[in-house]
Chain A
Amino acid sequence: MAIPLTYNLRSVSNRWVSSIVAVVGIAGAVGVFIAMMSLANGFRAALVTAGSDRNATVLRGGATAELESAIALEQARLVGDTAGVARNGEGQPMISPEIVVVTALPKKDTGTDANVQMRGVTEMAPKVHDRFRIVAGRYFKPGIAELVVGRNANHTVRGMEIGARPRFGGQDWEVVGIFESGGSAFDSEIWLDGNLLAEAFQRPIGLYQSITARLESPSSFQVFKDALTSNPALTLQTEPETVYYARQSEALSTMIQTLGSMVAVVMGIGAIFGALNTMYSAVSARSREIATLRALGFGQGSVVVSFVVESLLISLVGGLLGCLAALPVNGMAVSTLNFQTFSHMAFAFQVSGPILLFGIGFALLMGLFGGIFPALRAARLPIATALREL
């Protein structure tokens, strides 16, 4: 049987000062790890939730993002007639041809300019993007210089309140509504009439950058894709909207994760040294106890397990504290530049169960590394000598 856990629990509490050093180090590393992972998770979620599994994104063949794409009006009509596309009650194809313009607008908090994405759409857009809903005011009227502002853009961009008249593209516009789209990337955008947007920014009328097509059902995608790509009049590509947005989030979320992991690993190494120090001093202070246990018949394996378990207990406490410390960032809104769109995008830290579990796992890993070497030293103590140590 193993050395009783009571021994480790009480030893840790008796030596709480040195245990706290390790606990704090581990908690710090876990807290940073969770915060960074939540940041990447929030960014990814903001983009991925922009997509619907009933929608397909259509771009020019070879384009990887809307900014690189161009689709002519005639092609848009053909997309609408493609098999698999849903139709509304009036028999119109549910497609949303969209143009995207990035413009610099002053931020509310600093007054400095930030790139904001404007999406030129039609009246069909809110029906195709099914999470879209107006939360204040109304939707813009086609052909009139009105716009609706995403909730995040409303919070972060100066002069985007209902009734405000921002000026860009050489003309004045009126904010008539605030919308939200389930915390997705659309919430950081400004939506307005596509033709007016094209005109204001001297884009050719009838040239879009993407088309979002509402499908009859999620399983209709393959039918739609096959029909679209086999039509010789179309040089377009398509993918499920969820996949498109997931891909758009990859670069930045990978970078956040990588940088976050690097910071966490560096902090983790520090925490491991803290744990090593705690456990080595525990072994040193308790060498006579260890020798006594060995003299009573507990084997080297029992001693190793006992000290590793003790280290894991310390790291578990550190991990739990790190999780608790990171929890308040959940839902905290931040904004950053999305590499794919070169526009400012607001999103929220998203702490999830799997991330917390990863954090605990990270803590236990630190505890294992911090405990194994002192445990081996404890097991190898010469019994006869250690028994006489004061």
Chain B
Amino acid sequence: MVKVDGTNNKDALIRVRDLDKKYHRGSEVIDVLQGLNLDVSVGDFVAFMGPSGSGKTTLLNLLGGLDVPSDGTITVAGEQINRMSGRVLSAWRARHVGFVFQMYNLIPVLTAFQNVELPLLLTKLSKSDRRRHVETALSIVGLSDRMQHYPRQLSGGQEQRVAIARAIVADPTFLLCDEPTGDLDRKSADEIMDLLVRLIGEHRKTILMVTHDPRAAERAQSVLHLEKGALVEAHR
């Protein structure tokens, strides 16, 4: 269950406390996040909304270990990630986080299969085990017949489904989706949201999603708004 008031949820998978993030632009200090609290449990599907520049993507980057907070703590599955070195954080990301980006961020010179296989190259799985995992992930997203296609040979919706397969292939602790439908037409966007909901229902994934799209947000279990650097639960 998602909480933003800072009271402890003993079952929380992700716990954020008093999170601050400041940016410096010359002599100017920009407070993006101020004293933000968040508790997310296993199996939650959370949507973050808010105007441009409100810090949604910054929050996602901090949760994914792509950026470091100015203050506060982020604890995931008992591990405090804000104290990790860059090297440890890379290994942590590989083990715990699956990323889905607005622009899919597939490697254009690799096939769908090779793109999905990338996170598994950081594991100790054998080649045959990797192949099995990749085939499973691609079948979950319905692209078993597109394994040897390059990203340029796929539609936007298919590319995003490959990106989702890549995000889930190593069975990460949670998924971070940054505007996953932002570059897609309505039909493709709905298919992607169906897929994410299915991952929650059938595979008990935990998903945190940033979106501008109210229709995508309403598919989430919880919608949180970023206002003045803090999270506020939306009334639904």
Contacts and interface: CB of A to CB of B under 8 A. Distances in A.
Contacts of B119: 296-297
A18 B62 CA distance: 36
Contact of A288 (B61, B105, B114): B105
Contacts of B122: 1, 296-298
B121 interface: yes
Interface in A369-390: 383-384, 387-388, 390
Name, among A11, A300, A388, A390, the residue most crowded by chain B CB atoms within 10 Å (CB to CB): A388
Interface string A1-42: 111101100110010000000000000000000000000000
Contacts of B64: 295
Contact of A11 (B95, B109, B114): B109
SS of B interface (majority)? helix
B151 to A, nearest CB: 11
Name, among A3, A7, A387, A390, the residue most crowded by chain B CB atoms within 10 Å (CB to CB): A387
Contact of B87 (A4, A288, A299): A299
A7 B109 CA distance: 6
B94 A387 contact: no
B118 A293 contact: yes
B90 A10 contact: no
Interface string B79-97: 0000000110011011100
Interface string B108-136: 11100010001101100000000000000
B178 to A, nearest CB: 8
Nearest to B58: A384
A344 interface: no
Interface string B191-211: 000000000000000000000
A241 B87 CA distance: 63
B94 A296 contact: yes
A297 B107 contact: no
Contacts of B99: 292, 295-296
A241 to B, nearest CB: 61
A248 to B, nearest CB: 56
A297 B95 contact: yes
Given A10-B110, A289-B107, A387-B105, A297 B67 contact: no
A214 interface: no
Contacts of A297: 90-91, 93-95, 119, 122
A288 B119 CA distance: 17
Contact of B109 (A10, A288, A294, A295): A10
A7 B110 contact: yes
B101 interface: yes
B105 to A, nearest CB: 4
A7 B122 CA distance: 15
A387 B66 contact: yes
B159 to A, nearest CB: 13
Interface of B: 57-58, 61, 64, 66-67, 86-87, 90-91, 93-95, 99, 101, 103, 105, 107-110, 114, 118-119, 121-122, 166
3 smallest beta-carbon distances between A and B, as pairs:
A297-B94, A10-B109, A292-B105
